[in-house]
């Protein structure tokens, strides 16, 4: 699955399935066909773990159906039961090693090979995504039963739609996390005549460019971050630029994947939610979280932060909610404490910002426009610096490594190796490209962007050529591991 989205098998499967999908006589079979193609792809990548995905689909279908159609007193219970089962799956398969050491587990089950085999099972690909999809559908079915009732009152039809929602291959392994109410209503036979070719291909070209050219090359340039023993031999400014490069890489990698998923979705007639909106141009932390991994942050906001009380309660409770939501958001990325630390770091930043924002706004309002603009730029730089620093917790293996790394940067040591200059220049170029990408998409240059849009087909052709002649060494999408 690692390089599946760039393999020839993938392109053949896509073209083949698209051809059959849109044949006039296969319109009734579109949904089963898409489910089969998606399951086939997942089976190639995950093997027997497909049964876990199928179990999750059936569970979600049963309890979301119950949450919509059962008697009023049972609806909530149905939703809660479904949620508990889905979360248990996620906790057991993803977080068991974090909370239960292998020795304790062996003690419980007496080294039983079957249980130990289950304990040692690899993390099922995409489990965080399909479980969150399932939860979304169950909650939406309870809160808005009309969602399901607009379709035929048949459990089998609902099962089919639920399966497609959970297994739809562009979003199966790394999102975007389309909410139930957003995707479910789109499930119906599609017409070839309705394909938005230009936007679909535009998203695909941009996505492949971001992944193949920017993210893959930056992955090589930032590779020394994985070798703490090499930091002592690396110039401090190069180390610093590697972190900035990683910041650009994780954006290019994930935004690239999301755009590929959106483009593929459009080819099959489905609209997936936008996942990134120039996040490194955010002027505050709360603004950053409305621009970065939008589908996850809005999921956490709608299904966790608001039910916890959101910001309509006391200030202290609001701060606590922010910390809880961000810690869970961090933990969602992986069963390691470093992700929790990353989440708490962002949670703290959000809480402090909330505490100070009123006062800062009061001060800046009386400043001249030019000073306000300067402050705005400084705020963007500060948010970017903080977010980039926090990525160290993603990239490095432990908090101790982060501290060692910071010490190496602080030492401001200059070491010139033959490759030093070339690496630095390449880091500037690729990180700069991400800056330019933000600039073009942020609306700062709105008039120019609008004029350029008429000719962006030429730009797409250039990007395609760059995908062939400037691509980096293949590596897996970063978010596939989550």
Partner 1 sequence: MPSFISNFNALHRQWILQVFISFCICMLIANAGVRYLQKHTWWAKRDLQMGGFQNEAIAEQYTYGKQKKDIVIVGSSVSTQLPPEGVRPRHVGTIFIQGSGGMSGLELLVRSGAAPKLVLVEIDFLARGVDIALIDTIYTANLIKKYIPALRYENNLVNLFSKRYIKTVSLKPLPQALMDKVNLQLAPRIDAELKAAAGVALPESDIQLLLNMIEARTRILSQRGCKIVFFALPKHPKKVDLPGDLRWKQKLSERFPHYPIIEPNPNTSYFLVDGLHFCAASGKAYFDYLMQEIKRLGL
Which 182-221 residues touch partner 1, going by CB under 8 A? 191-195, 197-198, 201-202, 205, 217, 220-221
Does the footprint of partner 1 cover residue 106 (CB under 8 A)? no
Quickly tell me which residue has 């400084």 as its tokens.
Answer: 378
Specify the residue, 78 or 262, whose C-beta has the smaller distance to partner 1.
262
Nearer to partner 1, 138 or 244 (CB): 244
CA–CA distance, 39 with 284 (Å, rounded to integer): 41
**From 170-178, 250-258, 393-401, 422-430, span contacting partner 1 (CB under 8 A):** 422-430
Contacts of 9 (CB under 8 A, 6+ apart): none
Q: What is the DSSP string of 260-313?
A: HHHHHHHHTT-PPPP--S-GGG-SSHHHHTTTSSHHHHHHHIIIIITTTTTTSS
Check binding of 460 to partner 1 (CB under 8 A). Answer: yes
CA distances from 231 to 100, 227, 354, 479 (A): 34, 7, 37, 26
Interface residue with partner 1, options 32, 107, 189, 461 (CB under 8 A):
461
Q: In this chain, which of 5, 22, 42, 480 binds partner 1, going by CB under 8 A?
A: 22
How far the first Cα of the chain sits from its last, in Å, is: 13
DSSP labels, 236-251: HHHHHHHHHHHHHHHH
Does 471 bind partner 1 (CB under 8 A)? Our answer is: yes
The 222-251 site mask, x for binding partner 1 (CB under 8 A), equals -------x--xx------------------
Give whichever of 67 and 434 is closer to partner 1, judged by the CB atom. Answer: 434
User: Which residue has tokens 């997936």?
Assistant: 272
**Residue range at the interface with partner 1 (CB under 8 A); choices 69-77, 83-91, 342-350, 455-463:** 455-463
C-beta closer to partner 1: residue 308 or 466: 466
Contact residues for 162 (Cβ-Cβ < 8 A; gap 6+)? 57, 60, 61, 64, 137
Q: Which stretch binds partner 1 (CB under 8 A): 162-170, 279-287, 313-321, 421-429?
A: 421-429
Among 110, 117, 358, 418, binds partner 1 (CB under 8 A): 418
Closest listed residue to residue 391, CA positions, set 233, 235, 207, 252: 252
CB 222 within 8 A of CB 249: yes
Place of tokens 């957003």: 182
Stretch that binds partner 1, among 50-58, 180-188, 254-262, 464-472 (CB under 8 A): 464-472
**Distance between CA 415 and CA 420 in Å, rounded?**
8
Are 257 and 211 contacting, i.e. CB atoms less than 8 angstroms apart?
A: yes
CB of 13 to partner 1, least distance (A): 19
- Spatial contact of 278 and 377, defined as CB atoms under 8 Å apart: no
Q: How far is the CB of 427 from partner 1 (least distance, A)?
A: 11
Closest separation in Å from C-beta 259 to partner 1:
16
- Pick left, alpha or beta for residue 111 (phi over 0 → left; psi -120 to 50 → alpha; otherwise beta): left
Looking at beta carbons only, is 353 or 456 nearer to partner 1? 456
Q: Is 73 in the site for partner 1 (CB under 8 A)?
A: no
Which residue among 314, 364, 372, 421 contacts partner 1 (CB under 8 A)?
Answer: 421
Number of CB atoms found within 10 A of residue 173's CB: 25
Q: Please state the closest distance from residue 360 (CB atom) to partner 1, in A.
A: 43
Q: Residue numbers of the site for partner 1 (CB under 8 A)?
A: 22, 24, 191-195, 197-198, 201-202, 205, 217, 220-221, 229, 232-233, 417-419, 421-423, 425-426, 455-462, 464-466, 468-473
């Amino acid at each position: 699955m690692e390089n599946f989205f760039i393999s020839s098998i993938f392109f053949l499967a896509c073209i083949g399935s698209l051809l059959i999908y849109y044949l006039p006589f296969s319109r009734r079979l579109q949904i089963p066909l898409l489910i089969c193609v998606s399951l086939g792809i997942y089976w190639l990548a995950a093997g027997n773990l497909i049964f876990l995905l199928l179990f999750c689909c059936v569970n979600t279908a049963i309890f979301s159906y119950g949450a919509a159609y059962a008697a009023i007193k049972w609806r909530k219970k149905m939703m809660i039961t479904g949620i508990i089962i889905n979360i248990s799956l996620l906790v057991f398969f993803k977080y068991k090693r974090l909370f239960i050491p292998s020795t304790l587990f062996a003690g419980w089950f007496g080294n039983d090979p079957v249980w130990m085999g289950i304990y040692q099972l690899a993390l099922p690909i995409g489990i965080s995504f399909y479980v969150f999809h399932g939860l979304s559908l169950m909650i939406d079915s309870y809160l808005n039963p009309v969602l399901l009732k607009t379709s035929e009152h048949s459990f089998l039809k609902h099962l089919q739609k639920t399966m497609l929602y959970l297994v739809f291959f562009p979003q199966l392994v790394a999102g975007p996390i389309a909410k139930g109410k957003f995707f479910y209503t789109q499930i119906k036979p599609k017409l070839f005549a309705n394909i938005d070719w230009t936007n679909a291909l535009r998203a695909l070209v941009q996505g492949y460019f971001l992944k193949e050219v920017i993210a893959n090359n930056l992955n090589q340039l930032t590779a020394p971050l994985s070798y703490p023993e090499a930091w002592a031999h690396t110039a401090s400014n190069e180390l610093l630029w590697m972190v900035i490069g990683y910041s650009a890489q994780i954006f290019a990698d994930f935004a690239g994947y999301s755009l590929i998923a959106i483009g593929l979705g459009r080819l099959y007639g489905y609209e997936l939610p936008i996942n990134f909106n120039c996040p490194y141009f955010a002027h505050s932390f709360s603004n950053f979280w409305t621009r970065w991994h939008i589908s996850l942050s809005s999921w956490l906001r709608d299904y966790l932060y608001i039910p916890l009380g959101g910001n309509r309660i006391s200030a202290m409770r609001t701060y606590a909610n922010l910390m809880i939501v961000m810690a869970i958001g961090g933990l969602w990325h992986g069963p390691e404490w470093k992700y929790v630390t990353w989440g708490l770091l962002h949670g703290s930043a959000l809480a402090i910002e909330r505490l100070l924002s009123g006062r800062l706004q009061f001060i800046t309002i009386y400043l001249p426009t030019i000073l306000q603009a300067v402050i705005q730029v400084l705020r963007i730089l500060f948010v970017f610096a903080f977010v980039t620093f926090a990525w160290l917790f993603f990239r490095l293996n432990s908090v101790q490594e982060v501290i060692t790394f910071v010490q190496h940067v602080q030492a401001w040591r200059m070491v010139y190796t033959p490759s030093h200059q070339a690496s630095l220049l390449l880091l500037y170029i690729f990180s700069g490209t991400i800056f330019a990408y933000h600039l073009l998409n942020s609306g700062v240059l709105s008039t120019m962007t609008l004029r350029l849009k008429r000719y962006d087909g030429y730009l797409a052709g250039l990007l395609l050529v760059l995908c062939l002649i400037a691509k980096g060494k293949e590596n897996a999408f970063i978010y596939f591991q989550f």
